[in-house]
Structure 1
Amino acid sequence: MTTAALSTKALAIRDRRSVGMGIFFLLVALAIVVAFAFNSTADMTTSFGLNPGAKTNAPRLEEWVLPTQQVLWGLAVVVAFAGGWQLARGFKRVNLVLLIVALIFVFAFLTWAARGESMNLLGMISASLLRAAPIAFGALSGILCERAGVVNIAIEGMMLSGAMTAVVVSSIFRNYDAVNKATGDPLFPSWLVSIGQSLEAANLSDAAPWHLLLGLVGAMMIGGLLAAFHAWLSIQFKVDQIISGTVINIFSAGMTSFLSQRFLQPIQDINSGGTFKILPIPGVSSIPIIGPLLFENSLIIYILFILVIAIHVMLFYTRWGLRTIAVGEHPKAADTLGVNVFKMRYINVIMGGMVAGIGGAYFTIGSVGRFDELLTAGKGFIGLAAMIFGKWTPFGAFGASLIFGFADALQVKLQGLGIQQVPISSEFLLMAPYIVTMVVLAGVIGQSIPPAADGQPYEKD
């Protein structure tokens, strides 16, 4: 096939996508009118709260009161205009317009769902961030691994093991005497416990006591250990990376369930590590809306923000990052230029495992303070979907994680509004995060291209 023919075919595909996107926008506008505007009345209002649920340093803001039906009609007109423009002339950045249309549809849905009621919009956005955190950790873990050419579906198992390790380590250092009395045997050498208790007595902050920091380190270590095992199997012995990851997931699920039933349930002192408290950042935490959302969180959320920025900078602006990308795209060429392919893959996979361990710690010492069987509930797999959605970039994956987190927070909020407000069954609402995952993986926004050598074992000549 000639170059001209290929160009003609590409243009035809682009034109079809452009027309299809325009029709999609018009259908969204029609859905807003039929499903939402027609099911509200002219005298209805919707109130959105702009203050977080908890007490903060930021000043309190008045509720945002909107006329429900008028707003819905206005949003429908905006989306319909976008659809008409797309059909007539086309947008240069159609994916950006698609994102805006999606946000408009979500806002229209919330406006309709909360008609005649009040919904804490900022509280739901904050909940979306918290629910997105473990997904984002999983996505960052996947990026570190797959950018180096190693598929890691064991993130779920690493997070599950990290969750248990974090709460057990923090509980033992927090309740050492009670644990010893319950078990009859010291679980750690006395010298190690003395160090831990000395650190605990010299707390730097009540929001991050040392027993929780030690639990976080333990979660990172177990995540890194499982990742090293995965790397050893897939790099040294060239075991199929999907099989290797599945083995770790099954092992982690079985081992954590056994240990939970054998030790954590009978001895509650091993399963009460506490949680990181909210740590406001002086000065910026008092900014309205943005302050409580970004600068009034726990330590693990701040670690997430730092990791997103750090991994982005390291991946695209450092020698290590360029070598990582080279190993993931063309390992043979990288090897020819003197890059140690095996070493780079080991380092990246172990780092990815440590990040997954932090994500696991969020479920326990970052959230509820205790461990329950299968606590991660598939968030590691959703993290992989966020990684693909974000096209293997840290900021893209974080944005995708926020979408999944919002879907999760939305189903909780809608169940609270009641069946009269939102006539959707609770079972369907519980499926919302996973439906979003399937839609994303089906490729609604276009095909995502992974690193060229992703999942391929490398054999040195």
Structure 2
Amino acid sequence: MAVSENTTSETSAEAPKPLQPPRRIPKLRHLQTLGTAFLVLGVLVVWASTALEDEPITMAIGVGEAAPRFDVTPDLTVLVIGLVMTIAGLVALADRWTGRYAAVGLLVSAILLLPLLVVLSVGLSGAPQTNILTLAAEALRRGTPIALGALAGLWCERSGVINIGIEGMMLAGAGIGFLSYTMVFGGVPGLGLVGAVLVAVLTGGLMAALHAMLCVTFKTDQIVSGVVINLLALGLTSFLRREILLPADATSAPTLPQIDLLVLSDLPVVGPLFSGRPIFFTMFLAVLVTHIVLFRSRWGLRVRSVGEKPHAAETAGLNVVKLRYQAVIVGGLLAGLGGAWFSLETVGGFDDGMTQGNGFIALAAMIFGKWRPWSAFGGAMLFGLASSIGTRIQLLGVEVGDFPIPPQFMQAFPYVVTIIVLAGAIGRAVPPAAIGQPYEPSR
């Protein structure tokens, strides 16, 4: 027994000490991360206010003599906004103690970003005035393809199919739609343009059908399938342009005509908001119809059910494969219409890669809108406003010091906004439960 006790004591004495777990570096929470970003931005904005003059600028809201106008002092306005952002950032960093005030402060700071950009751009340019309503009308116009692309992604992903091929569907619709307009319909306005738009819409639907076949039938990885759609559209449209359009010198054509809504376009102040082109007005109708069909109809309920619990939907007697095909193709039709906006409504021509990443921005708008039509529309208009502000800054010839802001920065501005918005949306936007999961029938 003594030997046993000694052995036990020696063993216990020689036993290695348990390893201490490494100390973890505390991670910033979601509000703290955003608070850090706004704190840095607020300090930069306060510093930028020192470069502005104290001469007031006039902000007009609308056209005509009845349009309201008000004066804004650039340096004081930018200074106040910068201080608000700085304080909001500090409050968010201390969110353990500030509670709901942290989120409110960040929300106010995010809302102030848009007036900040307008005042800052006009103040740096030296322009005496600017028109807010014109800027809003331009934002609605530029947000049209993004809203249509967001609806396309919404239809696909509500049914459980990831769609990063929106860019390719839009590009194919833009290219083949313009090709049919010039080579098939003879570039004749009127019915020729209508036929070309229909071809663009059908092209987007065909590309979506290919995506559905790869993802639903052959169960290909849905991300890979979307990349294939994008690369296919890029190569196909570039080939058709080089081999058909350029040799035939078919590089430009008339666009869809301007439409003025009867009485609304004649209103004294807000009249410009009711003047636009057909696809622009169709976009609003598409958002409304999508909301009604997806959330107020039996078929829309079935589409949403196969995106959440496909096997439960199958138990209820629904054809999951058929419903997913239908939803993805509907999304492709909307993406094709968004592509027609570029070549047939805006430019009157086609260039390689002319969609310029708007399909990916549409995905960001969809996520920002939490897979709901009107919220996604709001996100699309936010990106449209960012694009229009970037163009406005470039046209005004804004300079920082003695150096003009390069146009490449203005072109990248909508994508910077995309990153910022997604950084704020990630963690709170919950996708459909069955998204990206291949469906295997039970029987």
Question: Paired residue for 2:314?
Answer: 335
Question: Paired residue for 2:150?
Answer: 139
Contact 2:181 2:195 in 1 (8 A): yes
Q: In the TM superposition, what is the alpha-carbon distance from 1:431 to its structure 2 partner?
A: 1.6
Is 2:39 aligned against 1:39? no
Question: Paired residue for 1:150?
Answer: 161
Identify which of 338, 349, 367 aligns with 1:370: 349
Q: Distance in 2 between matches of 1:450 and 1:102?
A: 24
Q: Distance in 1 between matches of 2:30 and 2:208?
A: 41
Largest Rg, 1 or 2:
2
Is 2:137 aligned against 1:126? yes
Question: Paired residue for 1:94?
Answer: 103
- Per-residue CA deviation, residues 135-191 of structure 1 (Å, 9 max, x unaligned), is 111111000000000111221111111112222233346537xxxxxxxxxxxxxxx
In structure 2, the CA distance between the partners of 1:414 and 1:318, relative to structure 1 (3 Å rule), is same
Identify which of 265, 268, 277 aligns with 1:298: 277
Identify which of 288, 300, 305 aligns with 1:309: 288
Q: Distance in 2 between matches of 1:20 and 1:249?
A: 33
Q: In the TM superposition, what is the alpha-carbon distance from 1:372 to its structure 2 partner?
A: 1.2
Contact 1:212 1:273 in 2 (8 A): no
Identify which of 285, 308, 311 aligns with 2:265: 285
Q: In the TM superposition, what is the alpha-carbon distance from 1:356 to its structure 2 partner?
A: 0.5
Alignment of 1:297-446 (within 5 A): 297-420=276-399, 424-443=405-424, 446=427
- Per-residue CA deviation, residues 72-113 of structure 1 (Å, 9 max, x unaligned), is 345456657767887675447936x63442231331232132
Q: Which amino acid aligns with 2:116?
A: A
SS in 1 for 2:399: coil
What percent identity do the matched residue pairs reach? 39
Q: In the TM superposition, what is the alpha-carbon distance from 1:421 to its structure 2 partner?
A: 5.6
Structure 1: gaps spanning 5 or more residues: 1-11, 53-57, 177-196, 201-208
In structure 2, the CA distance between the partners of 1:421 and 1:51, relative to structure 1 (3 Å rule), is farther
Q: In the TM superposition, what is the alpha-carbon distance from 1:286 to its structure 2 partner?
A: 2.7
Q: Which is worse superposed, 390-399 or 71-80?
A: 71-80
Q: In the TM superposition, what is the alpha-carbon distance from 1:62 to its structure 2 partner?
A: 5.9
Question: Paired residue for 1:180?
Answer: none
Q: Distance in 1 between matches of 2:102 and 2:232?
A: 45
SS in 2 for 1:65: strand
TM-score normalised by length of structure 1: 0.80
Q: Which amino acid aligns with 1:113?
A: S
In structure 2, the CA distance between the partners of 1:21 and 1:376, relative to structure 1 (3 Å rule), is closer
SS in 2 for 1:114: helix
TM-score normalised by length of structure 2: 0.83
Is 2:434 aligned against 1:453? yes
Structure 2: gaps spanning 5 or more residues: 1-25
In structure 2, the CA distance between the partners of 1:460 and 1:89, relative to structure 1 (3 Å rule), is same
Q: Distance in 2 between matches of 1:109 and 1:233?
A: 44
Identify which of 231, 237, 242 aligns with 2:212: 231
Q: Which amino acid aligns with 1:135?
A: I
Contact 1:162 1:218 in 2 (8 A): yes
Q: In the TM superposition, what is the alpha-carbon distance from 1:319 to its structure 2 partner?
A: 1.1
Question: Paired residue for 1:112?
Answer: 120
- Size of the aligned set, in residue pairs, is 409
Q: Distance in 2 between matches of 1:20 and 1:241?
A: 31
Q: Distance in 1 between matches of 2:381 and 2:219?
A: 35
Q: Distance in 1 between matches of 2:349 and 2:33?
A: 49
Question: Paired residue for 1:189?
Answer: none
Q: In the TM superposition, what is the alpha-carbon distance from 1:298 to its structure 2 partner?
A: 0.8
